[in-house]
Amino acid sequence: MSKRLYLVTGGAGFIGSHLTARLIREGFRVRVLDNFSSGKDENLAGITERLEVVRGDIRDAAVVRSAMRGVDIVFHEAALGSVPRSVADPVTTHETNVTGALNVLLAARDAGVRRLVYASSSSVYGETPVLPKTEDMAPQPLSPYALSKLVAEQYLSVFQRVYGLESVSLRYFNIFGPRQDPESEYAAVIPRFVTALIEGRRPTIYGDGLQSRDFTYVENVVEANLIASEAGGAPGRVFNVACGGRYTLLEVLENLKRIIGGVVEPVYEPARAGDVRDSQASIEEIASLGYKASTSFEEGLAQTVAWYRNKQGG
């Protein structure tokens, strides 16, 4: 068994728990730092006894320093997500996503961490009309959330140049899969659609439903993180993490209807401030490191539906 120690901030959350479980399966030592505001104990069920779990907030510099002791690799997944929430409360978004990230970087620098992999977001691109999005495009963030992710990317770049802390930023494109919370006011679209259809309710679409996204199954993201943590050509760079395709919300809904059944029609609400119209990634850069989207959109949807059905006992 490897003695390397990984720290996963936000490791009890949706993406973080999948990453944590993969590291445990591969025999690594793993420490999770999470304040459990959105992370859940149940996300770590079955592996808790093989983990070290630190309950604390990345906004608390002392807690972060303590959690960083002896760590070799950091996966910084902890964040306050959601564009609408950031529009409603930009201060808390900044404190978590910018100040919290700075605390993580400072602690990693001081602890002699070998590499830090950061969960950024496709939202940094904004409404640039060119598709697919390539990493050399000038960012145009449209929301406090998007801006907070971009600022943290810049901090990583500065820390690598000034302090020599190896870092990699991964711009996630609309991740979905098991354990994604459908209950929150700010929940992502696929878990909301899935649970509505399973329960026979009409799903809500904000806007006309023709907005498109590069929906990416969570296991693809886990793979991208592991590659980014080891690849020699990764430090100091930004990479898109996606599948390289795109689907409209109406296409997502039709796919889910085929899997789940039912004929319910959506409820349409006004489009939300800060939401991007269309998003699609070029994944050529991360593919050059050996990444490929091994789970397709359709396969990911089927696995996601199966998980929610099992969770609801139906």
- Helix/strand/coil percentages in the chain, nearest 5: 40, 20, 40
**Structural domains of the chain ordered from first start:** 5-174+217-243+280-294 (3.40.50.720)
Helix axes 14-25 and 218-230, enclosed angle (nearest 10): 60
Contact 247, 213 (CB under 8 A): yes
The pLDDT assigned to 107 comes to 98
Residue 31: helix, strand or coil by DSSP? strand
Residues recorded for the chain: 314
Residue 299 tokens, joined: 């396969």
| 29-34, strands of its sheet edge to edge | 52-55, 29-34, 5-9, 73-76, 115-121, 166-172, 237-241
Residue 174 tokens, joined: 């609309």
pTM for the predicted model, two decimal places: 0.94
Residue 129: CB atoms within 10 A of its CB come to 6
The pLDDT assigned to 185 comes to 64
Residue 238 tokens, joined: 């930004």
Contact 181, 187 (CB under 8 A): yes
- Cα atoms in the Cβ-side hemisphere of radius 13 Å centred on 280: 12
The pLDDT averaged over each successive group of 10 residues in the chain (314 residues) is 86 98 97 96 95 98 98 98 91 98 98 98 91 96 96 98 98 95 78 93 94 96 98 97 96 95 90 84 98 96 95 71
Contact 68, 111 (CB under 8 A): yes
Annotated active-site positions, please? 145
Residue 30: helix, strand or coil by DSSP? strand
Q: How far apart are CA 257 and CA 67, in angstroms?
A: 44
